[in-house]
């Protein structure tokens, strides 16, 4: 039987025109709250009036500069292959993120400012964290190359209209997990302690029971016993 992604509850009727409000994510300790983007209506940017377009352009420019400066420190400098691991660890420690492990390889890309990495966690090259909402990685967890951890979703209504306003949903990855290469961890997912995710899997719902999950969508393939 072919695997299918489970259907989600979608807005109907007028909700296609008035998308749900953006989820509030509190800023990290010591940081000022950022001004939210202008309210968006509908699914086509050409439907916006001129004033809304101007406000959106100004907000986008400010956002781009903030991301550029943050990315320069976290991704370009700390994430460089020329940066020793110990120095990368210190640079991430003084960033907006809560990083408590030096086992982060070069080439890891972090967007946003809500990433927490526990002691002993190892992050391989090419991993992408969309830390616009909180992402928590437990201690002693290993994340393979080119894994995508996402936190934003654009709801689709029954008529096929995609909301331009993203909803943010945090991701929790427990302790002593193993996430295989090129897996995709979707917004809002919780992965329990001791879970193994097979390579190239798409995790669309919680994986709480210790065991091996694989496929697209990922399903429990083998449960662990104490002897494992």
Q: Tell me the C-alpha distance between 175 and 220, whole Å.
A: 18
Q: Tell me the C-alpha distance between 128 and 184, whole Å.
A: 10
The verdict on whether 97 is a catalytic residue reads no
Beta bridge partners of 136: 116, 172
Q: Is the distance from CB of 182 to CB of 60 less than 8 angstroms?
A: no
Q: Is the distance from CB of 127 to CB of 163 less than 8 angstroms?
A: no
Q: Tell me the C-alpha distance between 142 and 176, whole Å.
A: 7
Cα–Cα distances in Å, from 23 out to 26, 140, 165, 167?
10, 30, 10, 6
Active-site annotation holder among 24, 114, 154, 161: 154
- Rounding to the nearest 10 degrees, give the CA dihedral for residues 108, 109, 111, 117: 0
Q: Tell me the C-alpha distance between 204 and 52, whole Å.
A: 34
Peptide bond into 217 cis (omega under 30): yes
The conformation of residue 94, written as its DSSP 8-state character, comes to T
Q: Which residues are catalytic?
A: 154
């Amino acid at each position: 039987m072919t695997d299918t992604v489970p259907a989600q509850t979608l807005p109907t009727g007028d909700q296609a025109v008035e998308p749900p409000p953006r989820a509030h994510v509190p800023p990290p300790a010591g940081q000022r709250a950022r001004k939210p983007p202008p309210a968006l209506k509908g699914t086509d940017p050409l439907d916006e009036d001129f004033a809304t377009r101007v406000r959106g352009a100004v907000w986008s420019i400010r956002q781009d500069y903030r991301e550029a400066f943050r990315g320069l420190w976290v991704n370009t400098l700390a994430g460089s292959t020329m940066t020793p691991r110990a120095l990368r660890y210190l640079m991430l420690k003084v960033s907006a993120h809560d990083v408590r492990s030096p086992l982060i390889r070069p080439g890891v890309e972090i967007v946003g400012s809500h990433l927490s990495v526990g002691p002993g966690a190892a992050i391989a090259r090419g991993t992408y964290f969309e830390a616009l909402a909180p992402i928590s990685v437990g201690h002693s967890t290993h994340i393979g190359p080119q894994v995508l951890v996402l936190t934003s979703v654009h709801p689709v209504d029954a008529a096929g209209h995609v909301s331009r306003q993203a909803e943010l949903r945090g991701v929790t990855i427990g302790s002593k997990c193993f996430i295989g290469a090129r897996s995709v961890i979707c917004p809002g997912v919780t992965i329990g302690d001791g879970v193994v995710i097979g390579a190239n899997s798409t995790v669309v719902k919680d994986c709480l029971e210790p065991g091996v999950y694989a496929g697209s969508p990922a399903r429990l393939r083998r449960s662990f016993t104490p002897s494992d």
